[in-house]
Amino acid sequence: MDRTATKRRPRMAQTLVDTLRQQIEAGALPVGAQLPTEPQLEAQFSVSRTVVREAITELRAAGLVTPIQGKGMFVTDSSQTPAIVLTPREIQSIPQTLEMLEFRIAVETEAAAIVAHRRSAQQEEAIRAANQDMAEQIAAGVDTIDADFAFHLAIAEATNNFYFADTLTRFGKRSIPRGQFPTLPGTNDESYLQGVLAEHERILEAIADQEPEAARRHAGSFARQPEALSPSQALRALDRSLIHSMSYF
């Protein structure tokens, strides 16, 4: 990896954030105006897609822009939108989290498909038990990061391929992104976690039914719901592999 590019990215994203913020505050982009599309911003500012996504995420967290499903990203009245305050460390972790999730999607969608072919009855039961543990922890109102990670690790181990489990183990609990954003409100509310659990169950059932394509589809489906999210939901959706595509139109 180009270490220089990695170090430079947060500065480039901040420059883009500052430029767009100035345009919004000066009225060049008034309330209700549509932001340029992601490709247009990439071309206009000569930056990567990851830089654009990070900048948009920060603008959304600040309550300056909001998406309208199927149309794009629009300037909002920030005085009417409560801002989400992330710590400097959380903001700095966004680009690394996006990259990690893109990699995980490539790996884990295929892992789920392989497991639908290869899993033994014992391995299927281990996946099911991990999901049940998470359900019980949600009901008890306790932290679910460990159980969430255990579910994904059980799938990786059921591939019977050392490298899948080894790769996920190297990420560890960092692979559950809501754990990287502790100040973000709503990431541990029961309704959200029940949604995560339901998504797990769809993957599990596809594996149990030995349907590789369904398993692959459900494992990657977390990434395909960005359009109608609020700023809080957008960042929470990091935990659902949103940033596989994180385009906002």
CATH of the domain at 166: 1.20.120.530
The answer on 190 and 153 residing in a single domain is yes
Q: For residues 61-85, give the mean pLDDT.
A: 74
Q: Which domain holds residue 75?
A: 3-80
Looking from the CA of 103 toward its CB, the CA atoms found within 13 Å total 12
Q: 80, 100, 126 — which closes off a domain?
A: 80
* Mean pLDDT, residues 76-83 taken together: 63
Same domain as 122, residue 62: no
Q: Which tokens hold the place of 39?
A: 């490709």
pTM for the predicted model, two decimal places: 0.58
List CB contacts of 195: < 8 A, sequence separation 6 or more. Answer: none
- Show which of 32, 56, 80 is a domain's final residue: 80
Residue 88 has pLDDT above 60, yes or no: yes
123 and 219 inside one domain: yes
Instruction: Kindly state whether residues 118 and 228 are assigned to the same domain.
Output: yes
Together in a domain, 103 and 47: no
Among 26-35, 94-103, 147-156, the minimum mean pLDDT is found in 94-103
Of 50, 80, 110, at which residue does a domain stop? Answer: 80
Q: Is residue 249 in a domain?
A: no
Question: What is the greatest pairwise CA distance in the chain?
Answer: 62
104 and 49, same domain (yes or no): no
Is 90:180 a contact under the CB 8 Å cutoff? yes
Those residues whose C-beta lies under 8 Å from the C-beta of residue 188, and which sit 6 or more positions away, are 143, 144, 178
Which two tokens mark 226?
A: 């960005």
Residue 55 lies in a domain: yes
14 band by pLDDT with thresholds 50, 70 and 90: confident
Tell whether 11 is covered by a domain: yes
Is 168:153 a contact under the CB 8 Å cutoff? yes
Q: Are residues 66 and 166 in the same domain?
A: no
C-alpha dihedral sign at 39, 45, 47, 53 = negative
In total, how many domains does the chain have? 2
Tokens of 245: 């595509």
Side-chain-facing half-sphere of 113: CA atoms under 13 Å: 12
Q: Looking at the structure, tell me whether residues 61 and 101 fall in a common domain.
A: no
Q: What is the CA radius of gyration of the chain?
A: 19
Q: Is residue 27 part of a domain?
A: yes
Pair (27, 56) in one structural domain: yes
76 and 92 part of one domain: no
Same domain for 47 and 130, yes or no, is no
Considering the domain boundaries, does residue 207 fall inside one?
A: yes
Q: Is residue 143 part of a domain?
A: yes
Tell me the one-letter amino acid at 232: S
Residue at 122 is within a domain:
yes
| pLDDT the model gives residue 150 | 95
Give the whole-angstrom CA distance, residue 34 versus residue 29: 8
Using the predicted structure, report yes or no on whether residue 91 has a pLDDT greater than 80: no
